[in-house]
Amino acid sequence: MKKSELRDKILSNIKEIINETGFLEVIQVVDDQIFEGVKAGAGFFRPDFALRVRPASGKIIDLLFGLEANAQPRFVRSAAINMKDTCSTLRNSYCVLGAPYLSEASMKICREYGLGYIDLAGNSLLNFESVFIKTKGRPNPYASSRPLRGLFSPKSTRVLRVLLADPNRKWHVQDLAVEAKVSLGQAFNTKQRLLDYEYAEEVPGQRKKKIRLIDPEKLLKDWAEDYSYKKNEIYNYYALELPRKIEKKIASFSVDSGIRYALTLTSADALLTHFLRGAERSFIYIEKPLETAASRLGLKEVDSGENVTLMVPYDEGVFFGVREVDGLHVVSDIQLYLDLWSYKQRGKDAAQFLLDQRIKKAWQT
């Protein structure tokens, strides 16, 4: 969207909001040319336009609007800092950030810096003098795709796995790329997305700046909302033997064949937290080919009534952080959390329990 188009739409929307109040009057729309002095004094922020309004108190207030076509949290924070500095130097003024769409994270930043905001989805906040107006809008009407999809692509999530394994560690991008087994370009792009959405920050390093996570829990939860274990290739089987015995057999099969496997969902839960009690079903990640494994384990493929599910990973990152528990390979707690979150049978409760009892405690050590 061109800035001129954004300006016209924001101006139209804010006028409508003000006119509906009955206690605010628009006196004048002020063009951006008059703000050269503000730009020189404040250094960075030059309002795109202003509204001169008069509330019921009679005191005239200038609403100074800054427009951000790209309202990712990192850019909103930078704009908010500059806008706050400007408004602190001017009397009887209130800064408002306008954008095509503002996420909850971006709106929170505006509130943090004492700014108003408005977007084209219907979200707005004006909070100055005796005026308080807040509206809640619809989902982003201008999104062509989910903005975080690139961050949660298979290759990018290999980087996330490394960072979430030890959120307190600071990483050079080159080291991240090696550990995550991705290209340097992929690691760099993932780092930039993490910075843009304020999941991470840059910190000084001996050679170059390093990166570390700011809020690993938010990152993990946002990833879980985008993820489903059904992204993997799923094959359902019935076995005459109990699932626990099948799991021991697959461990022996892996040793003989060299094919990687890892238990997840109910199988991993039974070894780690015992939250999903009584779930007599196995979920196992395994590399192809499946035919040999299924034959060796005595599995019969079925359309219903399955008690063993083999899953071919959508990406080899699923195996990152696999550990041995009671002689069996189990996915990392991060992968287990992701899988549980989309599991219907109390999966979200089990995921939260895993987060509270294991993941957070590991992050604190």
Please identify which residue in the block is written with the tokens 């030890």.
166
- Residue 56: predicted pLDDT: 85
Out of 143-157, 198-212, 228-242, 259-273, pick the least confident: 143-157
Average pLDDT of the residues in 227-249: 92
Of 193, 171, 182, 224, which is closest to residue 334 (Cα–Cα)? 224
Q: Is the pLDDT score of 244 beyond 60? A: yes
Q: Is the pLDDT score of 118 beyond 90? A: yes
Q: Is 212 exposed, middle or buried (0-12, 13-18, 19+ CB in 10 A)?
A: middle
Q: Are 26 and 61 in contact (CB under 8 A)?
A: no
Q: Using 50, 70 and 90 to split pLDDT, how confident is the model at 277?
A: confident
> What Rg value do the Cα atoms of the chain yield, rounded?
27
Distance, C-alpha 40 to centroid of its chain: 37
154-226 is a CATH 1.10.8.100 domain:
no
Query: Using one digit for the tens of pLDDT, what is the confidence trace for 161-174?
Result: 999 999 999 999 99
Q: Are 193 and 151 in contact (CB under 8 A)?
A: yes
Burial per residue of 88-106, b for 16 or more beta-carbon CB atoms within 10 angstroms, e otherwise? eeeeebbbbbbbbbbbebb
Burial per residue of 250-268, b for 16 or more beta-carbon CB atoms within 10 angstroms, e otherwise? bbebbeeeebebbbbbbbb
User: Is pTM beyond 0.75 here?
Assistant: no
Angle at 121 between CA 119 and CA 124, to 5 degrees: 45
Domains in the chain: boundaries: 3-135, 154-226, 229-364
- Give the 3-state DSSP-derived string for the chain, with helices as H, strands as E and coil as C: CCHHHHHHHHHHHHHHHHHHHCCEEEEEEECHHHHHHHHHHHCCCCCCEEEEEEECCCCCEEEEEEECCCCCHHHHHHHHHHHHHHHHHCCCEEEEEEECCCCHHHHHHHHHCCCEEEECCCCEEEEECCEEEEECCCCCCCCCCCCCCCCCCHHHHHHHHHHHHCCCCCECHHHHHHHHCCCHHHHHHHHHHHHHCCCEEEECCCCCCEEEECCHHHHHHHHHHHCCHHHCEEEEEECCCCHHHHHHHHHHHHHHHCCCEEEEHHHHHHHHCCCCCCCCCEEEEECCCHHHHHHHHCCEECCCCCCEEEEECCCHHHHCCCEEECCEEECCHHHHHHHHHCCCCCHHHHHHHHHHHHHHHHHHC
Query: Using one digit for the tens of pLDDT, what is the confidence trace for 249-274?
Result: 999 999 999 999 999 999 999 999 99
Query: Using one digit for the tens of pLDDT, what is the confidence trace for 185-226?
Result: 999 999 999 998 889 999 887 678 899 999 999 999 999 999
Please identify which residue in the block is written with the tokens 């899953």.
311
Q: How far apart are CA 148 and CA 133, in angstroms?
A: 30
CA atoms within 13 A on the CB side of 55: 16
Average pLDDT of the residues in 321-335: 97
How many residues does the structure list for the chain?
Answer: 365
Q: Are 314 and 289 in contact (CB under 8 A)?
A: no
Residues paired with 63 in a beta bridge: 51, 94
- The token pair at 285 is 């990640």
As assigned by CATH, the class of the 3-135 domain is: alpha beta
